Amino acid sequence: MARGGQHNNDDRFQPLTSPTSGSTATQSDQSFMENTNNPFFIHSGDHPGLVLVSHLLTGSNYNTWSRAMLMALNAKNKPRFVDGILSQPMTDNPTVGIRSRCNNMVTSYFLNAISKEIADSLLYLESAHAIWADLHERFHQSNAPRIFQIKQQLHGLSQGSLNVNTYYTQLKILWDELKNYQPIPVYHCGGMKAWMDYQLQEYMMQFLMGLNESYASTRGQILMLDPFPPVAKVFNLVVQEECQWSIGSRSSAPSDSMTFNASSQLFL
């Protein structure tokens, strides 16, 4: 039987001797349970009540939820139970019991990560693959409507009553999801770097535009810098300003000279 990470076909799951032998099934089961590279391996910490993702699927968050779930399943070496590659074996195959246990385990992962209203409609589906396909058919959105929604949210997002960290986090979530939908252009002779620099500049502009007017002086000084600093460093500067205000060291927006000195730290 092939071992390790070889996943070309199901020949590796065949018994070492006749499948009618009880000792053969026991030997096969033991092998699968001990091989951590095998999709049938179940860790001692795995149990049906395990929650793999932090947010429940409610329907509208399917795109982000499915991405997080696939990452978690990959960490568990179980994505093949949802992509349909692992088909159900013949009933006389000694791996049928192991497959059934793993399938039920992955099904439990799904039910624990889905709102009760949706989970109740999935209980009678026979496999984890069937659940995954059903959720995709119901909630997957094509790219164009979702891109429109993201850009609409970005256009309307501003700091308002949010602190700088929460505001930036909400922006970054939308940026990262939008980036996932955008094709990567093919450039030569440094063109890719120029395109990436332009995207980062757009992010920085969007972040600065949505800040409250109390940061107007800080924003003005940053916009005067050449070249533009990375958006993460701009964020760090604004957070420093916010922290100093919150402890009472400043009663109003910082002066131009103090802001410029802080901004110059971006290049240290």
User: Facing residues of 57 across strands?
Assistant: 114
Among 96, 119, 139, identify where a domain stops.
139
Assess if residue 116 is contained within a domain.
yes
pTM higher than 0.75: no
Q: Note whether 108 and 69 are within 8 A (CB).
A: no
- Number of domains making up the chain: 2
Q: Note whether 104 and 46 are within 8 A (CB).
A: no
Assess if residue 10 is contained within a domain.
no
pLDDT tens for each residue of 15-72? 333 333 344 445 555 555 567 778 788 887 888 888 899 889 998 788 889 889 999 9
Range of the domain at 40: 24-139
Going from the first residue of the chain to its last (268 residues), give the mean pLDDT of each consecutive group of 10, the final group possibly shorter. Answer: 41 36 48 69 83 88 87 89 75 76 90 92 90 90 82 93 94 86 61 74 90 90 84 88 74 47 48
Does residue 157 sit in the same domain as residue 87? no
Does residue 130 sit in the same domain as residue 166? no
Among 115, 139, 163, identify where a domain stops.
139
Q: Note whether 201 and 239 are within 8 A (CB).
A: no
Does residue 48 sit in the same domain as residue 122? yes
Centroid of chain to Cα 10: 30
